[in-house]
Amino acid sequence: MKLSVCLYVEMEMVHLKEKTADVIRLTEEKIAEYIQSLSERGLCADSIQNYSATLKNLFLYLPKDKQINSRTAPEWALYLEKKGYGARTINARVSVLNSFLMYAGKREWQLCDFQRQPEDIQPELSRAEYRRLLNAARAMGRERVYLLIKTIGGAGVRMQELSQITVEAVREGTVLLSCHNQKRNLYMPAVLQKELLNFAKREGIQTGPLFVTRKGRPMSRSSVYHSINGISRDARVPEEKANPRCLWKMYQNTYTEIQLHFARIAEQTYERMLTEEQLALGWEEQALYDG
């Protein structure tokens, strides 16, 4: 039987009863220094924004002295649990604190190995459900949502990479994407390339990112999520499946299945070639012929 996050944290706190004078005082300057270090390490802008927001929430949670010690991580996790946050959200926030603690040289204060809850099991979006999302967006006249779904689920662009899908890159047909200090070339399918360029023309976007707000700024992570999730009902797709994460996972699964399919064809073709060579040049076949 799985432990709840609350019970798990309480068990962890049993081992941290001893009070210690060893503390770190969290300040806005220290947060800014840490965020700058993330930027220098090449972390994506969306991730940096998430880290910054989480640490600011932690700052507001801390008492007036703003001190962090060996009990902060489990106590904060317990506080979030009592506030009604789910395991996934708690894990994400504690992970940010864990990262900051490592940066501050206090790895021993980290809270690790949370029990995974049922909600942490990511549901899988089927190809049929993906098509229903596209169909619903098209029927509702939501072209930008339609293209978001297709860019993530069809072309395999990660959420963190959306701001790199520019008019110039789409026009080239091959997009150089960078995420988590890693670079990759993404081939833009011709059908999607045409739809994206037509969209840019209708929206008057001549240069820069394609998925932007009315003020011309790249869409935030939450805006992308809510845009896609907002059509789930009309698409007859469960809300928990209508999100960028499930679209990306569906893309990966589809691409992997295609690769395996062609790998099997290659193996079968090679096997046939070896069989034909064996019939013509095999040692045993030649011995039988000579006999």
The closest alpha carbon to 175, from 156, 159, 191, belongs to: 156
Number of helices (H), then strands (E), belonging to the chain: the values are 13, 4
With beta carbons less than 8 A apart as the criterion, state whether 243 and 163 touch: no
Once rounded to an integer, what is the mean pLDDT over residues 230-250?
92
With beta carbons less than 8 A apart as the criterion, state whether 92 and 51 touch: no
Structure tokens belonging to residue 33 = 């220094």
Once rounded to an integer, what is the mean pLDDT over residues 150-171?
92
Q: For residue 193, give the amino acid letter.
A: Q
Pairing of the two strands 182-187 and 174-179: antiparallel
Helix intervals (H) in 15-120:
28-40, 45-61, 72-82, 87-103
- pLDDT at position 109 over 50: yes
Once rounded to an integer, what is the mean pLDDT over residues 50-63?
91
Q: CB neighbours (10 Å) of residue 84?
A: 7
Topology of domain 127-250, per CATH?
hpI Integrase; Chain A (1.10.443)
Place of tokens 């700024």: 217
pLDDT given at position 22: 81
Most confident stretch, 65-69, 113-117, 258-262: 65-69
User: What contacts 24+ positions apart, CB below 8 Å, involve 254-261?
Assistant: 254/127, 255/156
Report the distance separating Cα 87 and Cα 163, nearest Å: 29
Report the distance separating Cα 111 and Cα 11, nearest Å: 12
Check residues 44 and 16 and name the one with the higher pLDDT. Answer: 44
- Boundaries of every domain in the chain: 5-120, 127-250
Report the distance separating Cα 192 and Cα 155, nearest Å: 8
Q: Note the residue count of the chain.
A: 291
Chain-wide mean pLDDT for the chain? 84
- pLDDT at position 264 over 90: no
Return all residues near 94 (Cβ < 8 A) that are at least 6 apart.
Answer: 73, 76, 77, 111, 114
**CATH number 1.10.10.200 is the correct assignment for the domain at 5-120:** no
Report the distance separating Cα 81 and Cα 87, nearest Å: 8
Check residues 246 and 39 and name the one with the higher pLDDT. Answer: 246
pLDDT given at position 133: 97
Once rounded to an integer, what is the mean pLDDT over residues 17-45?
77
Structure tokens belonging to residue 136 = 């619903």
- pLDDT at position 153 over 90: yes
| pLDDT tier at 289, thresholds 50, 70, 90 | low
Share of the chain above pLDDT 90, in %: 42
pLDDT given at position 226: 92
Terminal Cα distance for the chain, rounded: 70
- pLDDT at position 291 over 80: no
Q: In this predicted model, what pLDDT tens digit does every residue of 192-239 receive, in sequence order?
A: 999 999 999 999 999 999 999 888 889 988 899 999 999 999 999 999
Once rounded to an integer, what is the mean pLDDT over residues 259-288?
83
pLDDT given at position 14: 44
Q: In this predicted model, what pLDDT tens digit does every residue of 210-221 receive, in sequence order?
A: 999 888 889 988
pLDDT given at position 47: 77
Once rounded to an integer, what is the mean pLDDT over residues 58-79?
91
- pLDDT at position 120 over 50: no
